[in-house]
Amino acid sequence: MYTIEEFDKLKTKVLKYIMYKKRTENEIKRKFSEEDYELLEDVIEHLKEIGYIDDKKYVERAIAEFTKLNNLSIKELKYKLQSKGIDLNNIDDYIYSHQEELEEYEINSARNIIIKKQNNLEEQSLIQYLIKKGYRSDSIKQAIENISNEKD
C-alpha cells in the first residue's frame, strides 16, 4: 500500500505531464511505468473521474487537429491514434459517428494531394500513391472527378 503523500506526489507529476500536452491513458502508463503499478492505476483512475484523462475526448481533439493541419486518409488518422495507445473501439466509434464528414475530409485531402503532385506524377502513379497512403478508391475517384469538374 502507499501513503497519501505518495499518491499526491505522483498525481502532481502526472498532472504536470498532461497539462503540458494532452495525453492518452496509455502514454501516461508508458511514461510512469517505473512507478508502483497500483499507485499509478489509482492516480489514473482518480484523474479520469475528475475529467483530466479522457481518451474519447482525446480522439475528438486529435482528429480535429489532424484534419486542420494535414492531408490524411481515414486509415492514417486511425493509425496515428492507435499509435498513441487508444482503444480501437473508441477510434471506431468516433469514425462511425462522424463518417460523412470524415469521408468528405478524405476526398478533399486526396484532392489536395493530387493537385499538389499532379505535375510530378502521372495519374496512375498518383492513384497508387494514394492507395498506399490508405485512401479508399471511392475517395480517390471522387477527388479526381471534383478536379475535372473544376477545370470545366
Angle, to 10 degrees, between the axis of helix 99-117 and the axis of helix 88-97? 90
CA-to-CA distance for 128 and 126, rounded, in angstroms? 5
CA torsion 81→66→142→124, rounded to 10°? -80
Residue-wise pLDDT tens digits, 19-73: 999 999 999 999 999 999 999 999 999 999 999 999 999 999 999 999 999 999 9
pLDDT reported for residue 41:
97
pLDDT reported for residue 149:
87
User: What band does 119 get if pLDDT is binned at 50, 70 and 90?
Assistant: confident
Helices and strands in the chain: count of H runs, count of E runs: 9, 0
The whole model's pTM is what? Answer: 0.84
pLDDT reported for residue 139:
96
> Looking at this protein, which amino acid is placed at residue 30?
R
Residues in CB range of 49: below 8 A, 6 or more apart = none
